A and B are shown apart, each in its own frame.
Chain A
Amino acid sequence: MKDRFNNITEKIGFGILTLCLIVVVLIIVVIFTNITINGHSAISWDFITKAPTDGMTKGGIMPAIVGTFLVTIITAIFSIPLGMGCAIYLNEYAKQNLFTRIIRVSIRNLAGVPSIVYGLFGVMLFVELMHMGTCVLASGLTLSLMTLPTMITASEEALKNIPMSFREGSLALGATKWQAIRTNVLPYAIPGMLTGTILGLSRAAGETAPILFTGVAFYLPYLSKGLFDQFMALPYHLYIMATQHHDIMLVRPLAYGTAMVLIVLVFMMNLGAIILRYRLRKNRKE
């Protein structure tokens, strides 16, 4: 009797847990289908390749796509080397002492700093104190600070996966520490670093709050002319179309279209990273 009772409780319990996962999956499915169903009709060749016209009620989103690419590339240029460098220090050079512990606590806390706070920091440091003005470079730098913790954690994870023997073999042959790292560790760690890096950059590409006051423009009739020019960005464009436009209902289809382009872009980056990681794991097992 007690066994049967336990059996039934177990079945109900497992059912509830399964339901939890189903809810999570459903949330994702609903978000993606809602945006695809409402957004696909707005997508056309013109939508991707033309600038907005008629007070942003017609035309495309090309400047926003280009702007998002530009700011993501700037973010990559600054955050990848710094992230890798910090990871190399922590995994290869650092000793287990107070200083290292402080660095690790700082990384975890930086990861928790709200994105809008990064935005204000960017305004003060890059826009005001360094006299850059609101521009794509200031936004890119702000985003690189924000993604730095992700980059470091991902790079260190990749370095940890390289067996100690790789380093020891090289050191035993008389290589210096840096030579061992450069020739026997980094080449094998870089693919792993790349997956985490792509995930970090996809997050940066979708962020709005850090660029809000550091360089993004409501509307630009031309493409950004350089690093010290303002830019349009997909997430900010979506925000404008969804809440700030003078005729929100009229531009709703365009907003859905923008949302769809944005999630497809981010989804592709994530899928790329996930596939890359899956392949790496398979190779390692073989």
Chain B
Amino acid sequence: MKEASIHGCFLFNGLLVVLILVGIFSLLVWASIPAFKEISIKEFLFSSNWNPTSYVKPSYGILSMLVSTLIVTIGAMIFAVPISIGTAAFISDIASSRVREIAKPVVEILASIPSVVIGFIGITLVGPYIAKIFHLPDGLNAINGSILLGIMALPTIISLTEDALKSVPKSYTEASLALGATKWQTIIKVRIPAAASGIIAAIMLGMGRAIGETMTVLMATGCANAMPTGLTDSVRTMTSAIAIELGEVAYGSTHYYALFAVALALFLITFAVNLTADIIFNRRSKL
């Protein structure tokens, strides 16, 4: 009897995780409904005009935020993916066990730096350099955000890519070396392609993190509310729009609920990215 109730307790505890995920989704949907009574879904998704505080006609289009998020995320990946794969290949295939013992905690420490500190570095250190290189009045723009988000995505991609490389069967490596390939050829032509699905999953998870990152982009991208035209434009991502506006908006207004609708869109995007990564990852482990 006692055993059964203890089992029940733990079962409920496991169930709680599912409940939280479903809870987040349903609460976001529930809070977005009042917004969608006023705003058509077509306007919400395809208009680039986000101006909820207009006296004439408030507009709620998230397209410019979506594009901003996309630009910053892609920029981050261009920078983070090669470095991450290189680092992971170095740690798993070349480094001596002593270097590995040190390198892994170092990567972990990078992951532990709070996002607000990275944003601060973006303002004080990265920004001025960007301003100088591109001859801009200030360096708070999409490039700055991309660099910082790239830095933040590094640890995720590195450690998961390393796991993927580690799980490549030894026989592949040995066969390649036995055929006379050098270690370098083995890494590039055998090990990385064999780990490709794991590496893609790692990149997607890193991307998911970059899409959802708030404080860094809030501080370092300038947050101009307009459709970005280039990398040196100041951009306002979905996350930073929520962070800026929720503090100022009247409770219960359409604007208030529209911000929950933005959060819902953000949730769905990251959910899709993570789930895809998960499916890729699991398919690989079944092989």
Which residues of A line the B interface, CB within 8 A? 6-7, 9-10, 13-14, 16-21, 23-25, 27-28, 30-31, 34-35, 38, 82, 85-86, 88-90, 92-94, 100, 102-103, 105-118, 120-121, 123-125, 145, 148-149, 152, 176-178, 199, 202-203, 205-209, 212-213, 235-236, 238-239, 242-243, 252, 255-256, 259, 262-263, 266-267, 269-270, 274
Contacts and interface: CB of A to CB of B under 8 A. Distances in A.
Given A114-B239, A117-B266, A177-B3, A202 B27 contact: no
Given A24-B158, A121-B28, A208-B115, A17 B123 contact: no
A213 B260 CA distance: 13
A27 to B, nearest CB: 6
Interface in B171-219: 182-185, 187-188, 205, 208-209, 211-215, 218-219
Interface string B79-111: 000111111011100110000000101111110
Q: Which of A207, A209, A236, A274 has the most CB of B within 10 A?
A: A209
Interface residues of B, number: 86
A31 B278 contact: no
B278 A108 contact: yes
A116 B14 contact: no
Given A28-B106, A82-B16, 15 more contacts: A14-B184, A17-B87, A17-B90, A18-B90, A34-B124, A35-B117, A86-B13, A108-B278, A116-B212, A206-B116, A239-B215, A242-B123, A243-B218, A262-B114, A274-B105
Nearest to A19: B86
Given A14-B94, A20-B87, A113-B267, A259 B120 contact: yes
A242 B121 CA distance: 10
A198 to B, nearest CB: 10
Contact of A199 (B112, B247, B273): B112
B144 to A, nearest CB: 14
Contacts of B287: none
B58 to A, nearest CB: 20
Contacts of B114: 205-208, 235, 262-263, 266
A152 B21 CA distance: 15
A30 B125 contact: yes
A204 to B, nearest CB: 10
Contacts of B270: 112-114, 117
B212 A109 contact: no
Contact of B112 (A34, A238, A270): A270
B186 to A, nearest CB: 10
21 contacts: A9-B182, A20-B84, A24-B87, A24-B158, A38-B124, A86-B13, A86-B16, A105-B278, A106-B21, A109-B21, A109-B271, A109-B275, A112-B274, A113-B267, A114-B212, A114-B214, A114-B267, A116-B239, A149-B17, A178-B2, A270-B109
Contact of A148 (B7, B17, B107, B108): B17
B81 to A, nearest CB: 11
A25 B104 CA distance: 11
A208 B214 CA distance: 9
A111 B273 CA distance: 12
B112 A266 contact: yes
Nearest first, the 4 A-B pairs at minimum CB distance are A114-B212, A206-B114, A20-B86, A85-B13
A239 B209 CA distance: 20
B119 interface: yes
B30 to A, nearest CB: 8
Contacts of A178: 2-3, 6-7
